[in-house]
Amino acid sequence: MSEAFVPLEWRGLPVLPERDPLAHKGDFGHAFVIGGGPGMGGALALACAAAYRVGAGLVTAMGHPSALPYLAAHLPEATWRDWPGSLEELPAAAVLAVGPGLGQGLAAHDLVREIGTRSGPQVWDADALNILARFGPDLLRGDAVRLFTPHPGEAARLLRTSTAAVQSDRATAIGRLRARYGGHWVLKGHHSLLLGSGGRWFCPQGNPGMATGGSGDVLTGLLTGLLAIGLEADAALSLGVCLHAHAGDLAAAQIGEASLLAGDILAAVPAALQELRKNHAGY
Ligand SMILES: NC(=O)C1=CN([C@@H]2O[C@H](COP(=O)(O)OP(=O)(O)OC[C@H]3O[C@@H](n4cnc5c(N)ncnc54)[C@H](OP(=O)(O)O)[C@@H]3O)[C@@H](O)[C@H]2O)[C@@H](O)CC1
Ligand SMILES: Nc1ncnc2c1ncn2[C@@H]1O[C@H](COP(=O)(O)OP(=O)(O)O)[C@@H](O)[C@H]1O
Q: What is the CATH number of the domain that holds 184?
A: 3.40.1190.20
Q: Is residue 230 part of a domain?
A: yes
Answer whether 223's CB lies under 8 Å from 147's CB.
yes
Q: Is residue 40 part of a domain?
A: yes
Q: Is residue 59 part of a domain?
A: yes
In the reported structure, the alpha carbon of residue 151 is separated from the centroid of ligand 2 by a whole-number distance in angstroms of 7
Which residue among 163, 188, 190, 264 has the greatest number of ligand 1 atoms within 8 angstroms of its CB, and so is best to mutate? 163
Task: Please tell me the total count of domains within the chain.
Answer: 1
Q: Is the CB of 50 under 6 A from ligand 2?
A: no
Domain range enclosing 264:
6-12+24-281
Q: Which residues pair with 96 in a beta bridge?
A: 32, 122
pLDDT band at residue 283 using 50, 70 and 90 as cut-offs: low
Q: Is residue 18 part of a domain?
A: no
- Name the closest-CA residue to atom 12, ligand 2: 210
Q: Is residue 82 part of a domain?
A: yes
Q: In what order do the strands lie in the sheet with 79-82?
A: 6-7, 200-202, 193-195, 184-187, 146-148, 122-124, 95-98, 30-35, 58-63, 79-82
pTM: 0.97
Contacts of 29 (CB under 8 A, 6+ apart): 56, 57, 58, 95, 225, 227, 228, 229, 230
pLDDT band at residue 2 using 50, 70 and 90 as cut-offs: very low
Q: Is 50 helix (H, G, I), strand (E, B) or coil?
A: helix
Q: Which residues pair with 33 in a beta bridge?
A: 61, 97
Q: Is residue 19 part of a domain?
A: no
Angle between helices 233-255 and 262-281 (to 10 degrees): 110
Span 32-86, pLDDT tens digits: 999 999 999 999 999 999 999 999 999 999 999 999 999 999 999 999 999 877 8
Q: Is the CB of 216 under 6 A from ligand 2?
A: yes
C-alpha span between 162 and 151 (Å, rounded): 12
pLDDT, the chain, mean: 95
Span 182-240, pLDDT tens digits: 999 999 999 999 999 999 999 999 999 999 999 999 999 999 999 999 999 999 999 99
C-alpha span between 263 and 255 (Å, rounded): 12
Which residue among 188, 220, 264 has the greatest number of ligand 2 atoms within 8 angstroms of its CB, and so is best to mutate? 188
Q: Is residue 234 part of a domain?
A: yes
C-alpha span between 36 and 68 (Å, rounded): 9
C-alpha pair distances (Å), 42 with each of 33, 118, 203: 12, 26, 26
**What is the value of ipTM here, to two decimals?**
0.95
Q: Is residue 176 part of a domain?
A: yes
Q: What share of the chain is helix, strand, coil (3-state, %, to 5)?
A: 50, 15, 35
33, 37, 82, 42: which is closest to 61 by C-alpha? 33
- Name the closest-CA residue to atom 4, ligand 1: 43
Closest ligand 1 atom number to CA of residue 216: 47
C-alpha span between 82 and 41 (Å, rounded): 12
Which residue among 129, 151, 168 has the greatest number of ligand 1 atoms within 8 angstroms of its CB, and so is best to mutate? 151
